[in-house]
Structure 1
Amino acid sequence: MASLLLVGVSLQATNLLDPKLSTSLTVAPTQNPTAPTAAATAAAPSATPVNGSLDGIPMASPHAAFVRQPSSPDAWGGARTGKEATLSDRVVNYDISASLDPVHHTVDGQEKLTWRNRSNREVRSIYLHMYLNAFEGSYSTFYSEKINKGFDFRTDVATKNGEWGHIELGKVVQGGAAVPWTFVQPDEGPKTDHTVVRFDLPTPVPAGGTTTLDIGFHDQLPRVVARTGYFGSFHLVGQWFPKIGVLELPGERGATEPRWNVHEFHLHSEFYADYGNFDVKLTVPKDYIVGATGEEQGAPVEKDGKVTHRFVQGDVHDFAWTADNRTAKPLEGVYKGEGSPEVKVRVLYPPEYVASAQPALKATIDSLAYFSKTLGAYPYKTVTAVIPPYNATEAGGMEYPTFFTAEGMANVTPGTMSEFLLDFVTIHEFGHGYFYGILGSNEFEEPMLDEGLNDYWDYRMVRERGQVIHATTPLLRRFGFDQTIEPFEAERLGASNFDPIDATGANSWDRYSSGSYGTVYARTATMMHDLEEQIGKDVLERAFKQYYATWKFRHPDIADLQATLSEVSGKPALVAKAFEQQAFSAQKVDDRVAKITSEEVLPEQQTSLVNDKWVEVTDEQIEKQVKDLRDAWKKKNPDAKEDTGPFPYRTTVLLRRYGAAVPQTLVVKFADGSSEKVLWNDDQRWARYSWVKPVKAVSAEIDSKEMHYLDVNKLDDSRTIKADSKASRRWTSEIAALFQLIFSLIATI
């Protein structure tokens, strides 16, 4: 999701358009926490057990987060070699028929769910996500985290009466028998949360067996909020169908026994699901243009003023779609790349954002090329990008397999922030198709593997494109001000370097604040930037290619990423240190040059024994000796450079460490152009280095190659013997650029 952190400011992409787009609704309805909702009062059989599953298979911990144990080699069916019949080890099949009522903003659906039990145990209870119930009222886990934890989400548009949404179960049948069900709260959320449901099966699923469930459901879409809903005729239908959780097996993401990984819908979390096949029929009014996950099968079938579109896609773990009768004629393109099928690229956009359509198409095709080249070939035949209309920005900046939503702008001026942001949001949402989609990261428990790694790879792409951030406004540009910032420099300003609170690898809901969750993006990207600098750009890219090749369609954990980086780089200790400091904890990096001195080594006052008598060398004698030596040296060396002479200089540099230990190279430069280098690579809090040389020192600097962007302050990385205004000018320039960026954003929200 593109809740982006750029240049130290939480640049939520939904805030970047016309001022009117950010107008908040002011009426926030309340709900009686003890009153049953429509979803809760659906006809669940009275025999439904309420005290746990029928088979005793546990669920993942409510506080599950980063995994330290690499997965077993045969996890998720083993590595995909390309010789298998399918890209993934398909676990589930969804056959769904759904009909949209665009007036009442409802979807009526019938789902045939076929699930395979991969475990060696009989399964009698299964769990499904009912994500849309996060928006049924103020007492869901999603909204309670806004109230109780003070979290905020994107534009935080309030919901008016009549604008809530929910998903209601109808008839649920297994082999002709009614299936009892009950809502559960795996994460110990409020009992009024209905985002997870347990089905207790009349017929158990044996080890290795399959079962099919027929599920009727009815969606009331909310007014567009948090990645789904409607605005006017526009409908983005996400999190809209009952979706089975993941039964993890021993050796998969740290599991030691079969367990259900099925979390409530938290405010900051996204999704995690098994790979499978989707065959979805969507019925809409005939004047509506539809876009969806996967490939459309043949021409739509028209009947009674409506049309039915059929989309099929295998080896994905989610499905979303959009329908609108205001959509302009779609813009289409094609990507042809080595190892990939021919990819049909489609951009759906409203008339008011025609200026955004072509840039979104180009950025999508460019992303296909870059990600395929640097990670691995794109395996699907379609990509659909959707630009939401004016006043529906909550639907923007979201990803689903082969389908994502970007951002719309009425005007896109080259060489400005608007151009960069439109490109970046498109690249970012496409990139999720790899880290969230093809790799299948668990966004609940390890958002670092998706939001963080994706952000990092996106910034690598814009760096390779030579793009910079123009931190200025059109007005300031007319006066000749056009400050630019290199993308990774901008990203580090949002990484909470001064006061990191939560480990980057922590889950999405056990967070100090929404701002702390936001650092998952920037801090991961900055951590990986620093690691790249230490092991080498090409080596790191080879490691990520290996990570993709080994773990595509297999749900890796953070330990799997660490193991791959260690193996390919050949530097396991270095990689382990980086992960321990930043993924598994939150350690500040703050090294600095505390002091530099460079003084002549002159004769000193002394006494000595001469002919059995103690003779004192006085200050006057020393001063005369020094003067005579200086005069003779200058006469002999009339063209000598300043800060050279007959006496050597003792240069001493004191380094200070206020955070985690990282390898630093100290470079001391001297007046004759020579330099001294020393590696400071221990866990000590300070270090002192000295040299005696014929010339005076000029400066001392650590991290001259800017390898450590996690460092709190880059301005204290160097000191000079003489006053130098370069640092202050750089500081002023960076602050000016930051404020220009902030002002440019304020002007657009």
Structure 2
Amino acid sequence: MNKLFTLTGLLLFSGSLAFAQNTQNNPGSNHGNKFEQLGTILPTPNEQRTASGAPGVKYWQQRADYNIKCELDEKNLLLTGSETITYTNNSPDPLTYIWLQLDENEHSTDKNANYQDATKMPAIGTIQNLDQLSSKANNGYGINITKLTDATGKNLKYTVNKTMMRVDLPVALRTGQKLIFNIDWNYKITDRMSVGGRGGYEYFPTDGNYLFTMTQWYPRLCVYSDFQGWQNHQFTGRGEFALTFGDFKVQMTVPADHLVGSTGECINYSAVLNPTQLSRYNTAKTAAAPVEIQTLAEAKAAEAKKSTAKKTWVFNANNVRDFAWTSSRKFIWDAMPQKIQANNNTVMCMSFYGKEAYNLYSKFSTRAVAHTIKTYSDFTIPYPYPVAQSIEAANGMEYPMICFNYGRTDADGTYSESTKNGMLGVIIHEVGHNFFPMIVNSDERQWTWMDEGLNSFVEYLTEELWDNKFPSKKGPAYTIVDYMKLPKDELEPIMTNSENIARFGPNAYSKPATGLNILRETIMGRELFDYAFKEYARRWAFKHPEPADLFRTMEDASGEDLDWFWRGWFYGTDPCDIALDSVKFAKADFPKEVPAARSRMVKIDKPAVNAFEDISKIRNREDKKISFYVDKNTAAQDFYYKYDRGMVNIDTTVATKMEGSMPLDVVPAAEQDKYENKFLYELSFSNKGGLVMPIIVEFTYKDGTKEIDRIPAQIWRHNELKTSKFYVKDKEVASILVDPLRETADIDTSNNSWGGKAKESKFKAYKAKAGGAVRGQSVGKNPMQQAASK
């Protein structure tokens, strides 16, 4: 179990934004700025990228093909793999090295990017937090490269830099040449429910089983492009992925009673499925509704009896930028086809989910997958792949042909409407990512909005066509008003690198989606907008677009001058003076009782519909060509379909009392010795000069020893004026000095030091119980339960 603390802190010592530039042509005047063209901002057109926004006659991009074999060791929570990569240099440049991403190093204590966020001494937290801050040892996570050779078996020289690996080539790889090389590797799989991240495992203590989501799991090529060369920015956990297209053949060896869902098509179902499962799968290919290939009863039986044998699943995926998979014996599996008329493609829409999600996923998930790929195909390009899948994993993340979503019922099988709508929204959003950025392959690590914003916009269109009552939050103009009203120091332009965004959701998701919807509904009109947006998707499918390519294509294909809009909707010399403003100090205390439980009254949810009927909903109803999915598919109608339309009368004034105690235990006496002699410090800094720089802190302890901590400059990225850092020390600090060797050209060193007597405060520590709410599950009594109790 986890242990938890509370804190009373004492202030011991007290010593005071950069955006993407919106260049103004006439800054001293009241004109010639907002409606000026973007020529001074956008990159110069060339033979790779034209002024029209289309790829040029000399456009090129690299290619990487993978042949991977891996084995999942469930007992030891270890993944071992070997891969052969064929890398084709289509660029005009000779390459003397190549870069690969090692994203799994994100979880390592000594291999990660170490781009720290500001931290504070919390009032309540777990002693696991203190362990993480105290320990400097290697935690064993991160990818281990055991062999790297060329096609002949000769070792290749390589260098690992945090989450990136450079492979040095003995001979330059010239235009048109291929490099074939082999990598063997392994890594310890993380518990993503406790350490976070997109991939790893979730453990279910009630049945003793695991659900694995294998993502960013293999060394993979970085993008080398015409507009920036190698995209080898470190992976910090936020900015997602810039990747290279290619073909994959992947073999996964897993426990024999696991089901595997994956990018691509399985080419050996006849070897890994039993005759009943294989027959059901073949039936599902032509079914009008989802067919269960593994049933709820069968999944429960598999949970209870664990196999010690193994099976190998083999998948092929062509012309994809990435590959992900999932494996568990907990899965129910259903499937149905969706025909995409524009390219005559029949897509197998599938869902994998545990019993915890059955009443939601069995009814909605695969239907939502089918609706999403059809609707996105209508607004962009026809879906080209053979498979689209939704996996319930208390998550929300996307990969080619497969995505991980949330949505679990209450223990009695009921669910709230917010849980249902949240599930539908995340499935539509993550399946929609197949188009942006899996096909229209933008650079997510640099421009998150080109991935999340464009996808959120088409998600909105898709939600609107699922149900005219759907309470969409990203798209209607009024929903972005509160964000737009925030003080300027809390905002940054959409054209901001993903790592530097403070309010990530509104900036990268909602505001771009809202802007595009305003263009569609208010400025351009649906016909002009839809034509131009579809042309952008067509031009840049399976290619690497940049923001200018979108902006230029939308104008080129519509005949509308939109520079004023991009400028207004989408787009500020200082010395170094870092001051140590204050120091807080505390010692741990161990209360003999846990805090008293808090209670609150929770009312029954009212129908989850938008309070205001926006223009899109009204026009969609008036358009006789539009029909809504849930109206014509009665199988997708549930209790809340009637509830939202006033067909079910529920007293929403009824309130139930919710006891909200923190899951805490008193820390056992045997464990207190480890923490009672720790010294806890919070250092607060201010950037008085304006220039962001690393913070170098020298601690002098009372025994005369010294220690230096070097904090990367990225600690300022969410607040360029003030920041803080929380430390756990084994010894009491006598004095602190910032920049002891004067490495940062600090212009005023009089505010760089602290020293003095520290008065102890109390720091209450507890032991945290396991469990807690799971993402995507409802809280409190829901209307379905209230109706049943009548």
TM value normalised by structure 2: 0.57
Q: Residues of 2 paired with 1:133 and 1:543: CA distance? A: 41
Amino acid of the structure 2 residue aligned with 1:582:
W
Counterpart among 40, 64, 68 of residue 42 in structure 2: 68
| 1:165 partner SS | coil
Return the offset for 1:332: 0.7
Which residue in the other structure is 1:386 paired with?
Answer: 391
Q: Which amino acid aligns with 1:124?
A: T
SS at match of 1:492: helix
Give the AA of the match of 1:215: I
Change (3 A) 1:494 1:272: farther
1:103 and 2:75 correspond? yes
Query: Among residues 514, 519, 528, which one is paired with 1:531 in the alignment?
Result: 519
> How far apart in 1 are the matches of 2:328 and 2:776?
29
State the AA in 1 paired with 2:436: F
Residue 29 of structure 2: aligned partner: none
Given the superposition, is the C-alpha separation of residues 270 and 71 from structure 1 closer, same or farther in structure 2, using an over 3 Å criterion? farther
Residue 179 of structure 2 is aligned to residue 211 of structure 1: yes
Relative to structure 1, the CA distance from residue 384 to residue 90 in structure 2 (aligned partners, 3 Å threshold; closer, same or farther) is: farther
Letter in 2 for 1:550: R
Q: Which residues of 2 match residues 82-481 of structure 1 at below 5 A?
A: 91-137=63-109, 140-141=112-113, 144-147=115-118, 165-174=141-150, 175-184=152-161, 194-224=162-192, 225-232=196-203, 233-249=210-226, 254-255=227-228, 259-299=229-269, 301=271, 305-328=309-332, 330-338=333-341, 339-357=343-361, 358-388=363-393, 393=394, 396-410=395-409, 416-468=417-469
Q: Which amino acid aligns with 1:226?
A: G
Larger Rg: 1
Query: Is 1:583 aligned with 2:583?
Result: no
Counterpart amino acid of 2:462? Answer: M
Distance verdict in 2 for CA 1:238–1:340, change over 3 Å: farther
Give the letter aligned to residue 540 of structure 2. W
> Which structure's relative contact order is higher, taking Cα pairs within 8 Å and 6+ residues apart?
2
C-alpha contact (below 8 Å) 1:90/1:315 kept by paired residues:
no
How far apart are the structure 2 equivalents of 1:114 and 1:379?
Answer: 23
Q: Name the CA shift for 1:206/1:116 in 2 (closer, same or farther; >3 Å).
A: same
Partner of 2:555: 566
Deviation at 1:79, TM superposition (A): 7.6
The runs of 5 or more residues in structure 2 that have no matched partner are 6-19, 23-37, 122-127, 133-137, 204-209, 273-306, 573-612, 617-651, 659-774, 781-790
Q: Deviation of residue 243 (structure 1)?
A: 0.7
Q: Distance in 2 between matches of 1:427 and 1:334?
A: 17
Equivalence for 2:206: none
CA root-mean-square deviation: 3.8
Matched letter for residue 494 of structure 2: T
Contact 1:164 1:222 survives alignment (8 Å) = no
Q: Is residue 499 of structure 2 the alignment partner of residue 509 of structure 1?
A: yes
Query: Once the two structures are superposed, what CA deviation does each residue of 1:392-431 show, in whole Å capped at 9, x if it has no partner?
Result: x3xx110001110111221587993222211111100011
- Can you give the 5+ residue segments of structure 1 that lack an aligned partner in the other structure? 1-22, 28-62, 82-87, 151-156, 185-193, 471-483, 586-703, 708-736
1: distance between equivalents of 2:80 and 2:432?
A: 32
Q: Deviations over 1:537-569 (max 9, x none)?
A: 221111111001111011111111101111122
User: What's the CA shift for 1:273?
Assistant: 0.7
What is the SS of the residue equivalent to 1:145? Answer: coil
Q: What pairs with 1:622-633 in structure 2 (closer than 5 Å)?
A: none
Deviation of 1:226 (Å): 1.6
**Counterpart of 1:264 in 2: which secondary structure?**
coil
Deviations 1:193-248 (A, max 9, x none): x2001111223312221111111111211111221111221111111111111111
Q: 1:397 to 1:418 in 2, by over 3 A?
A: same
C-alpha distance in 2 between matches for 1:497 and 1:352: 40
Partner deviation per Cα, 1:420-446 (whole Å, 9 max, x = no partner): 211111100011110110101110111
Judging changes above 3 Å, is the alpha-carbon distance between structure 1 residues 111 and 147 closer, same or farther for their aligned structure 2 residues?
farther
Q: Could you tell me whether the CA contact under 8 Å between 1:79 and 1:554 is conserved in 2?
A: no
Contact 1:92/1:274, CA 8 A, preserved across alignment: yes
Is 1:748 paired with 2:779? yes
C-alpha displacement of 1:24: 8.9
Q: Contact conserved, 1:163 with 1:222, CA < 8 A, in 2?
A: no
In the alignment, the residues of structure 2 paired with residue 158 and residue 494 of structure 1 have an alpha-carbon distance, to the nearest angstrom, of 34
| Aligned residues of 1:92 and 1:115 also touching (Cα < 8 A) | yes
Residue 381 to residue 263, structure 1, CA distance change in 2 (3 Å): same
Judge conservation of contact 2:408–2:776 (CA < 8 Å) in 1: no
- The CA deviation at 1:570 is 1.3
2: distance between equivalents of 1:485 and 1:196?
37
Give, as a single letter, the amino acid of the residue that structure 1 aligns with 2:371: D
State the number of aligned residues: 488
Alignment deviations for residues 576-628 of structure 1 (CA, whole Å, 9 cap, x no partner): 1111122229xxxxxxxxxxxxxxxxxxxxxxxxxxxxxxxxxxxxxxxxxxx
